């Protein structure tokens, strides 16, 4: 749905704003050549289209005061959105860079990196979610995502050929950083996957969509998770990506070293993986609450 909305806004800008089409073509070319994802193109394109439509002028021709006023409205308007504000700033930075407008980039507001720790489910909460799936397909889907630490797009793109039952490995192709990786296939999950395949007979993608040979939609992955969280009566803000966070944290707690975990997660930088050290309860940790010592006898 978001993809369709973004495409409509971009098409509208092409029709209503002089020069937007050629500007967008250059943006699209640089995104593709830079190896960035289609979702990045749509996010940047939508934000640039909206500001161009607002002023009836391509974003590269806008004055500093116009841009700052628009960005202020995004943060302080009737429906403020920090997320949309960030995407707009990132989109404008990218646009100005490819048009050699470095002086414009400097004048854009700087964005502070928020250091939010990931939401993590306990092992018992994970079990509750996996058994709360309404049908076999949903139970296997959610268990499979957790068992391999997959991103949403990775599980959607996974094909039957990518699951090697002989070597007990899963081949994850062209991930977020355009790299392939292998992760172990859990023997317990392998049994569930075989049972699911016998029942649903997928043709191309492991988790098929509504039509034969199609992949499961993003909503088709997210909806079972939301329903399972409700059924399990879990109060945490848990999403599909929470299963990946939980996978990483649980592996650390079970003794896996950080560099091995980085490779399994497909992280480009170790610093991305290190965040899980802040949420994992490690056996050698000497952290405790002083309250526990207050009433101990001497």
Closest of 152, 160, 158, 182 to residue 170, by C-alpha? 182
- What is the rounded distance in angstroms from the CA atom of residue 253 to the CA atom of residue 120? 12
Active site residue 276: yes
Length of the chain: 298
Instruction: Give backbone dihedrals phi and psi of 19, rounded to 5 degrees, phi first.
Output: 90, -10
Active site residue 46: no
What is residue 288's predicted lDDT score, i.e. its pLDDT?
65
> Would you say 225 and 236 are in contact if contact means Cβ atoms under 8 Å apart?
no
130, two tokens: 């996996």
What is residue 201's predicted lDDT score, i.e. its pLDDT?
93
- What is the rounded distance in angstroms from the CA atom of residue 244 to the CA atom of residue 151? 7
What is residue 279's predicted lDDT score, i.e. its pLDDT?
85
10-residue mean pLDDT series, the chain (298 residues): 77 94 92 81 91 94 89 79 84 90 78 77 96 94 96 94 96 81 95 96 92 88 95 94 95 91 89 85 68 69
> Would you say 3 and 43 are in contact if contact means Cβ atoms under 8 Å apart?
no
> Would you say 244 and 267 are in contact if contact means Cβ atoms under 8 Å apart?
no
Q: CA dihedral defined by 264, 158, 136, 193, rounded to 10 degrees?
A: -70
The angle at the Cα of 117, spanning 90 to 271, to the nearest 5 degrees, equals 70
Render 98-162 in DSSP notation, one character per residue: HTT-HHHHHHSPP-PPP-PPPP---HHHHHHHHHH-SSHHHHHHHHHHHHHT--HHHHHH-BGGG
Catalytic annotation, pick one of 151, 245, 250, 262: 151
The residue with tokens 């075989």 is: 194
> Would you say 52 and 58 are in contact if contact means Cβ atoms under 8 Å apart?
yes
- What is the rounded distance in angstroms from the CA atom of residue 34 to the CA atom of residue 275? 27
Catalytic annotation, pick one of 87, 156, 244, 245: 244
Active site residue 250: no
Q: Show the DSSP H helices in the chain as ranges.
A: 2-16, 20-33, 38-55, 64-76, 82-98, 102-107, 123-132, 136-148, 152-157, 187-200, 218-231, 240-253, 258-265, 270-274, 291-294
Quote the pTM value.
0.67
Catalytic annotation, pick one of 50, 87, 262, 267: 267
Catalytic annotation, pick one of 161, 176, 203, 219: 176
What is residue 102's predicted lDDT score, i.e. its pLDDT?
79
Active site residue 151: yes
């Amino acid at each position: 749905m978001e993809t369709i909305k973004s495409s409509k806004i971009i098409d509208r800008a092409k029709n209503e704003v002089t020069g937007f089409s050629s500007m967008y073509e250059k943006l699209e070319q640089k995104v593709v050549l830079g190896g960035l994802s289609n979702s990045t193109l749509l996010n940047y394109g939508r934000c640039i289209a909206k500001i161009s439509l607002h002023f009836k002028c391509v974003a590269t021709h806008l004055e500093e005061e116009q841009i700052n006023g628009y960005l202020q409205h995004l943060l302080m308007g009737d429906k403020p959105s920090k997320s949309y504000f960030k995407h707009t700033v990132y989109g404008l930075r990218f646009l100005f860079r490819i048009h050699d407008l470095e002086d414009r980039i400097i004048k854009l507001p700087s964005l502070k990196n928020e250091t939010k720790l990931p939401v993590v489910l306990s092992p018992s909460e994970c079990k509750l979610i996996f058994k709360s799936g309404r049908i076999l397909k949903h139970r296997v889907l959610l268990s499979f995502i957790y068992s391999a630490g997959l991103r949403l797009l990775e599980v959607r793109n996974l094909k039957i050929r990518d699951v090697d039952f002989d070597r007990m490995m899963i081949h994850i192709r062209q991930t977020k950083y355009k790299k392939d990786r292998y992760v172990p296939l859990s023997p317990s999950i392998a049994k569930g996957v075989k049972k699911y395949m016998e029942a649903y007979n997928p043709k191309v993608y492991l988790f098929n969509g509504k039509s034969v040979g199609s992949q499961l939609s993003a909503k088709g992955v997210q909806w079972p998770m939301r329903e399972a969280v409700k059924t399990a009566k879990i109060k945490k803000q848990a999403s599909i990506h929470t299963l990946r966070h939980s996978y990483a944290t649980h592996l650390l707690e079970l003794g896996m070293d950080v560099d091995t975990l980085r490779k399994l997660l497909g992280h480009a930088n170790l610093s991305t993986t290190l965040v899980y050290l802040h949420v994992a309860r490690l056996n050698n940790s000497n952290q405790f609450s002083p309250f526990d010592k207050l009433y101990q006898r001497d």
